[in-house]
Amino acid sequence: MRVALALIPLSVGLMACEPQPTGTPRMSAAEAEVHCTQQAERYANKPLLIADENGVVQVGLQAELPDSFMVTDFYKRCFFANAKRRPTSIPKLPAFG
Protein backbone atom coordinates (compact mmCIF):
# COMPACT_ATOMS: atom_id res chain seq x y z
CA MET A 1 0.00 0.00 0.00
CA ARG A 2 2.80 2.42 0.89
CA VAL A 3 4.62 1.60 -2.31
CA ALA A 4 1.51 2.43 -4.34
CA LEU A 5 1.12 5.73 -2.53
CA ALA A 6 4.76 6.56 -3.19
CA LEU A 7 4.40 5.85 -6.91
CA ILE A 8 1.37 8.12 -7.40
CA PRO A 9 3.29 11.43 -7.12
CA LEU A 10 6.05 10.02 -9.31
CA SER A 11 3.61 9.01 -12.05
CA VAL A 12 1.81 12.37 -11.89
CA GLY A 13 5.16 14.14 -12.14
CA LEU A 14 6.15 12.11 -15.19
CA MET A 15 2.84 12.85 -16.90
CA ALA A 16 3.38 16.57 -16.37
CA CYS A 17 6.73 16.43 -18.15
CA GLU A 18 6.03 16.97 -21.81
CA PRO A 19 8.78 17.36 -24.36
CA GLN A 20 9.28 21.04 -25.13
CA PRO A 21 10.99 22.48 -28.19
CA THR A 22 14.62 22.98 -27.29
CA GLY A 23 16.61 26.02 -28.24
CA THR A 24 15.51 29.29 -29.67
CA PRO A 25 13.80 29.73 -33.02
CA ARG A 26 16.17 30.33 -35.93
CA MET A 27 13.57 32.34 -37.85
CA SER A 28 10.38 34.24 -37.26
CA ALA A 29 7.13 32.64 -38.43
CA ALA A 30 7.02 34.83 -41.55
CA GLU A 31 10.61 33.98 -42.49
CA ALA A 32 10.02 30.28 -41.86
CA GLU A 33 6.90 30.36 -44.04
CA VAL A 34 8.80 31.82 -47.01
CA HIS A 35 11.82 29.55 -46.51
CA CYS A 36 9.81 26.35 -46.05
CA THR A 37 7.49 27.10 -48.98
CA GLN A 38 10.53 27.33 -51.25
CA GLN A 39 12.01 24.15 -49.79
CA ALA A 40 8.71 22.28 -50.16
CA GLU A 41 8.44 23.33 -53.81
CA ARG A 42 11.93 21.93 -54.44
CA TYR A 43 11.02 18.74 -52.58
CA ALA A 44 7.83 18.32 -54.63
CA ASN A 45 9.82 18.39 -57.89
CA LYS A 46 12.60 16.07 -56.73
CA PRO A 47 12.15 12.39 -57.66
CA LEU A 48 12.16 9.85 -54.85
CA LEU A 49 14.79 7.14 -55.00
CA ILE A 50 12.67 4.03 -54.40
CA ALA A 51 13.87 0.61 -55.43
CA ASP A 52 11.35 -1.83 -56.92
CA GLU A 53 11.18 -5.55 -56.13
CA ASN A 54 14.22 -6.23 -58.32
CA GLY A 55 16.32 -3.55 -56.64
CA VAL A 56 16.18 -1.21 -59.64
CA VAL A 57 15.79 2.50 -58.93
CA GLN A 58 13.67 4.22 -61.56
CA VAL A 59 14.86 7.56 -62.91
CA GLY A 60 13.61 9.99 -65.54
CA LEU A 61 9.96 9.74 -66.53
CA GLN A 62 9.53 6.48 -64.57
CA ALA A 63 10.59 8.04 -61.24
CA GLU A 64 8.02 8.71 -58.54
CA LEU A 65 7.42 12.18 -57.15
CA PRO A 66 6.20 12.92 -53.61
CA ASP A 67 2.43 13.07 -53.15
CA SER A 68 0.59 15.98 -51.55
CA PHE A 69 0.69 14.44 -48.05
CA MET A 70 4.46 14.02 -48.20
CA VAL A 71 4.94 17.61 -49.38
CA THR A 72 2.66 18.97 -46.65
CA ASP A 73 4.44 16.89 -44.02
CA PHE A 74 7.82 18.14 -45.28
CA TYR A 75 6.57 21.74 -44.96
CA LYS A 76 5.30 21.20 -41.41
CA ARG A 77 8.56 19.60 -40.28
CA CYS A 78 10.61 22.40 -41.87
CA PHE A 79 8.45 25.08 -40.24
CA PHE A 80 8.68 23.49 -36.80
CA ALA A 81 12.44 22.98 -37.09
CA ASN A 82 13.03 26.64 -37.95
CA ALA A 83 10.31 28.52 -36.04
CA LYS A 84 9.96 26.10 -33.08
CA ARG A 85 6.16 26.15 -33.36
CA ARG A 86 3.51 24.63 -35.56
CA PRO A 87 2.25 26.53 -38.61
CA THR A 88 -1.16 28.14 -38.20
CA SER A 89 -1.97 27.72 -41.89
CA ILE A 90 -0.42 25.80 -44.74
CA PRO A 91 0.03 27.54 -48.09
CA LYS A 92 -1.07 25.93 -51.32
CA LEU A 93 1.85 23.67 -52.10
CA PRO A 94 2.53 21.94 -55.39
CA ALA A 95 2.19 18.17 -55.49
CA PHE A 96 2.70 16.24 -58.66
CA GLY A 97 2.49 12.73 -57.23
Whether residue 95 is predicted with pLDDT greater than 60 in this model: the reply is no
pLDDT per position as a tens digit, 21-40: 567 888 999 999 999 999 99
Q: How many CA atoms lie less than 13 Å away from 18 in the CB half-sphere?
A: 3
Rounded CA separation 75/90 (Å): 8
Higher pLDDT, 8 or 40: 40
pLDDT per position as a tens digit, 67-89: 899 999 999 999 999 999 999 88
Does pTM surpass 0.75?
no
